Amino acid sequence: MIKMKKIAVLTSGGDAPGMNAAIRAIVRTSLNNKIDIIGFRNGYEGLIDNDFVVFDRRLVGNIIQRGGSILHTSRSSRFVNKKYRMIAENNLRSHKVDGLIIIGGEGSTKGAIALSKISKTRCVVVPATIDKDMALVGSSIGFDTAINTALTAIDKIRDTATTANVTHIVEVMGRNCGWLGILAGIGAGAEVTIIPEVKTNITKLAQKIKHQLNRGKKGCIIILAEGGFSKGGASLAGALKEKGNFDLRITTLGHMQRGGNPSAVDRVLATELGVNAILALKDGFSNVIIAKPVDTIKKVEFDKVVNAKVNVDMYLHDLIENTA
């Protein structure tokens, strides 16, 4: 166990719903452990500019349900430059910060790695990105909400698609990772999902759509994940039209996928990861991502289930009061 007096937190990169829930859990757990906590605004930019807020319990009241981040975020181009990382390090030292928590995605983790080369401050990352594009860490804060947001929109598109007999291409985000596209595709019952990890054969795609329409479908939904087709939805529509007489419409869901109230899944994940970020720093961990990898499918025998007691997770139960 490490004696910690002060911790700093920041949110970085593309914002993700649930970042506020993570800030809340981090601040409350820190203060419960008698560790002072400050927040840097605008991600690494605030670390460079020494733009900070001293947290108390009330400052994180009534934010668990809010999208975005009360600390704001940025994609800091200055932080790539060692000169600015040194300034950031000096600011951390001047505040006598013992541990830094970065809430963000893959780019933010790269920033943390670069900082760790010149800094002795213990540093942990809480994964938050709608893209779920961080290897080995399971889901990330914001991913579940983004799927739900996409599904709400796609369900509406389905209504008009099947009424008007039109096929729709719906573009979802994900940077260069297909997770958001896959889950939106499954959840929406899409006919096709195109992701960057799989090269698209336009002839086969056109055949698939024709096949579905010939089967009596009134319109198809094609989910196009970001990076799945070189120049996006319009070029995909153009390529498909060369293969058949398709009536096509394109919707780009865009940044609406980053907003909105976090889902239950994201609020709980953010709380668990936030609490554990503080505990990890106290336990002396540094240069780690606080992760909760997803469980896989299991086969559970009937007779093992029928008379077995259901155990609620008392650890999660206790988190309620510990972050109140």
Is 131 considered catalytic here?
A: yes
> Binding ligand F6P by CB under 6 A: which of 6, 78, 110, 175?
175
Of 177 and 240, nearer to ligand F6P (C-beta) is: 177
22 binds ligand F6P (CB under 6 A): no
For residue 129, give the DSSP letter: -
Of 90 and 176, nearer to ligand F6P (C-beta) is: 176
263 binds ligand F6P (CB under 6 A): no
36, 131, 144, 266: the active-site residue: 131
Of 75 and 292, nearer to ligand F6P (C-beta) is: 75
**Burial degree of 175 (CB within 10 A; 0-12, 13-18, 19+):** middle
Which span (66-74, 110-118, 156-164, 171-179) binds ligand F6P, by CB under 6 A? 171-179
266 binds ligand F6P (CB under 6 A): no
Alpha-carbon separation of residue 74 from 44, 235, 274 (angstroms): 7, 30, 20
With a CB cutoff of 8 Å and minimum separation 6, the contacts of 239 are: 202, 229
99 binds ligand F6P (CB under 6 A): no
Got the DSSP string for 143-207?
HHHHHHHHHHHHHHHHHHHHHHT-EEEEEE--TT--HHHHHHHHHHT-SEEE-TTS---HHHHHH
Which span (24-32, 47-55, 168-176, 292-300) binds ligand F6P, by CB under 6 A? 168-176
CB of 243 to ligand F6P, least distance (A): 28
From the list 49, 199, 222, 12, the residue with the least C-alpha distance to 123 is: 12
* Interface residues toward ligand F6P, by CB under 6 A: 14, 75, 105, 129-131, 173-175, 226, 258
